[in-house]
Amino acid sequence: MPRIGWLASLMTMLLALLTGCGSNSAPPSAASGKLVVFAAASLKPAFTQLGAQFKAQNAGSNVDFEFAGSSELATQLTQGATADVFASADTAQMDTVAKAGLLSGDPKNFASNTLVIVTAPGNPRKVGSFADLARPGLGVVICQTPVPCGSATQRVEDRTGVHLNPVSEELSVTDVLNKVTTGQADAGLVYVTDAHGAGNKVTTVSFPEAAGAVNVYPIAVLKKAPQPTLAQRFVAMVTGDVGRNILAQLGFAKP
């Protein structure tokens, strides 16, 4: 009996040890982990919604967003910043990242956006056209030229011959919008989606020349993505039906 009891105890210990090793060595779920997404500032409302849906559909995952001007994000990436996905507000900044050899594949265009003028509610300065933005004494704020909204503004200036004298040039379109909503500027050039999100905090003035400077938004998985599986899934969501529906609801057009 003592020998049988000793063998039984030994087998129990070995079984427990093997079971413990098995559970510790099991690979983590492919859906688990933290996804880091660098995205244009104008995408914040849409991607925040998409991020919540993504986490719900991928148990154990989390999404950290870095929202800023696309040129700023591209600079961070080319200088060594680590992320899984890059979504730009124009193709030029995506090209910068691609030329640096940082993409794992071809980017996919998923939306487009158009410039509009925003003013204080009621448009007290009576801005009615792009040319009106050049009026003396009007405090206009725009994006810096490397930023996609600034590049689009420059294209409109070049095509119309109307050159603006802004009181401020900002690093992101959300900064431009903030200058107008807080009364620091009379008017600003932002995207349709930003005006849409601001609601009654601004009056929106469309101008036909903006049709010649539409920005297309591309998205791509980065070559050194720490979470390549999650990155592919996120890009698929953005470019699929879920992404298209959310983007359309917030004023984005098709690419």
Look at the block and give the residue holding tokens 């070995």: 14
The pLDDT of residue 5 is above 90: no
The pLDDT of residue 130 is above 80: yes
Q: What is the mean pLDDT of the chain?
A: 90
Cα gap 22→74, rounded to integer Å: 43
Residues 55-94 have pLDDT tens digits of 999 999 999 999 999 999 999 999 999 999 999 999 999 9
* Average pLDDT estimate for 143-158: 96
Per-residue b or e along 126-138, where b marks 16 or more CB atoms closer than 10 Å to that residue's CB: ebeebebbeeeeb
pTM of the model: 0.85
